[in-house]
Chain A
Amino acid sequence: MRIICPVKRVPDTAAEKKIAADNTLDRDGSEPVLNANDEWAIEEAMRVKEAGKADEIFALCMGPEQAQQTIRKALSYGLDGAIQVSDEGCAGSDAPATARVLAGALGDEPWDLILMGNQSSDARTMLVPAMLAEYLGVPALTYAKRLEVGDGEVTVDRETPTGHQTVTAPTPAVVSVVEAINEPRYPSFKGIMAAKKKPLAVKDLAGIGLAADDVGSAGAWTQTLDIAPKPPREAGEQVTDDGSGAVGAEAIAEFLVRQKML
């Protein structure tokens, strides 16, 4: 069994974000990191492999040359290699365009299971996993908080607001995971050193059978008109309780009455 882990390079949530003139995120202006939710997918893939149920795990990333830093980070967890789609034509891709690129990149690749995060911290559309599955013509088991890999099938506990559904599907399939699925390990020093030498295949759009206007801003099905920083929220009033809870409780109750919420 061969597992593919799509990984995204995202700005660090804690870093200041800058917007470039073309309404895209200036990704060089904000500390890029490996999307946190993808780390849980990588950890889960490693566990499947360590249980002897997978032979190989490859990362897959659509991103510019600088994203190789992120790909190496992914490899340092112990993955076997990576595929990168790097092409100026990818810039400005929306969720369907991203899914088309990722699906295109898998055109000639053997794979049985795609394990990915349920959301990216920047775009946060939560659409890419199901869209990727649609382009690949396979089932998607999303929001998994538990994964079980069987013989030719996968079963997940899919998180719902009130509990979970246990869902099973034959492979090949896409599985997206939520944070509750595991506790990711830290890359070992050995892993970090080995990551530098792992195979990384870089493809461009032509190489995966897509034209520049199939994806990127030209091929996106949505357009951003403008982006504006939100005026920062002002701190409101602050009340210090007297230690008994009475002053604090009174302040909140009065506030709720003023807000017509009580």
Chain B
Amino acid sequence: MDILVLGDHERGTPKKITHQLLTAARGIADGAVHALLLGPDAGAHAEQLGAYGAATAYVWEHPDAQDYATEPQTAALLAAVEASGAQVVLYPGDPLLSDVVARAAVRLGAGVVTDVTDLERADDALVATKPIFGGDMTSRCQVTPGRAQFLGIKANAFADEEAGGSPADVVPLEVTVADEARRARVVEVVEAEATGRPEMTEAPIVVAGGRGLGDAEGFELIEQLADVLGGAVGASRAATDAGWYPHQHQIGQTGKTISPQLYIGAGISGAIQHRAGMQTSQTIVAINKDPEAPIFSIADLGVVGDLKQVIPALVAEVEKRGS
């Protein structure tokens, strides 16, 4: 059983999640593992994926992969499935790639399991474990036997371990894109100023702030702590609603779900809708001045105190220990 990993990259450099997916694939494969990277520069460093066990790295660098939303990439994914013969595809839960997977799954009649945190081989089937209902419960599920299996793997669920393989065979894909697939056209890409911080859903450390920060400037404290720890910045809905931080950083039921190794929440009460997006974090630290704040009931370490005092002291402490 060959496995195809739909990876992600940043201007040609494979992202950590790609390495995590390849490591997960090695754990369940009894055939070869292949990778697919889409978009301009996809092939720039694709051979490096061999170190994580990819025999082949399919790449599709055509401008169509970037200038049109989703449908040309769907054609590329289908081409890679065909070229590799893989009946199992692992992909990151990234929204843009999820759309590609959704369309490709419908065309192939493939079953899709999202948010997978563990994979196990049972006879011929792959049994996937995933949190459901905001992490209140855990479900084990599988794709109906006989169908191709598309499995969305949660960031940080698997380690990224090198396997010491030789460089991957980089294979440019030939993809035929129908005119119809160019109906949705990207006319502009607006990027916020580069912060150098990792992406929130993939980061091993997330520092999140809420209403307790008092105002938008309060987020400077959160950013400082995130930066000394090398983490990403998250926010509660109270903070994004108030316009203190952009919505894409919102954690919770109507925002994003994260499962980092470490979540630090400051000035966040821990309402159930917020917990639905972060309670599967491996370690939870909370700073709140109210000892009764619900976040403390799920925190591994709770500090009752004023974040305006605790965070600057913590930043200094981390800097001191780091140097």
Contact = CB atoms under 8 A, between A and B. Distances in A.
B183 A169 contact: yes
Contacts of A99: 106
Contact of B309 (A158, A162, A163, A244): A244
B303 to A, nearest CB: 4
A255 B285 contact: yes
Contact of A13 (B115, B205, B237, B276): B276
Interface string A117-154: 01101101111011101110011111101000000000
User: Most A CB atoms within 10 A — which of B98, B133, B185, B316?
Assistant: B133
Contacts of A250: 313, 317
A110 interface: no
Overall SS of chain A's interface: mixed
Interface in B257-281: 257, 261-262, 264, 272-273, 276, 279
B179 interface: no
A52 interface: no
Nearest to B232: A161
Contacts of A95: 102, 112
A126 B183 CA distance: 22
Interface stretch (A71-79, A204-212, A229-237): A229-237
Given A222-B113, A228-B137, A244-B309, A131 B187 contact: no
B255 interface: yes
A130 B98 contact: yes
Contacts of B300: 236-237, 255
A130 B114 contact: no
Contacts of A129: 99, 102
A235 to B, nearest CB: 5
B141 A221 contact: no
Contact of B189 (A122, A165, A252): A165
Given A159-B248, A180-B247, A225-B140, A165 B313 contact: no
Given A36-B253, A223-B141, A238-B291, A131 B105 contact: yes
Interface string A51-75: 0000000000000000000000000
A14 B285 CA distance: 23
B114 A241 contact: no
B214 interface: no
B156 interface: no
Contacts of A180: 240, 246-248
A225 B191 CA distance: 42
Contact of A170 (B71, B110, B183): B183
B253 A145 contact: no
Chain A interface bracket (under 10, 10 to 19, 20 to 34, 35 or more): 35 or more
Contacts of B140: 224-227
A259 B205 CA distance: 13
Contacts of B139: 23, 224-228
B134 interface: yes
Given A36-B254, A235-B296, A248-B313, A166 B188 contact: yes
A94 B187 contact: no
Contacts of A167: 69, 184-187
B310 to A, nearest CB: 4
A183 to B, nearest CB: 8
B317 A127 contact: no
Interface of B: 69-71, 95-96, 98-99, 101-103, 105-107, 109-115, 127, 131-144, 147, 183-192, 194, 199-201, 205, 229, 237, 240, 246-248, 250, 253-255, 257, 261-262, 264, 272-273, 276, 279, 283-285, 287, 291, 296-306, 308-314, 316-318, 321-322
9 contacts: A37-B254, A135-B106, A157-B190, A163-B190, A230-B131, A240-B305, A245-B312, A256-B318, A262-B318
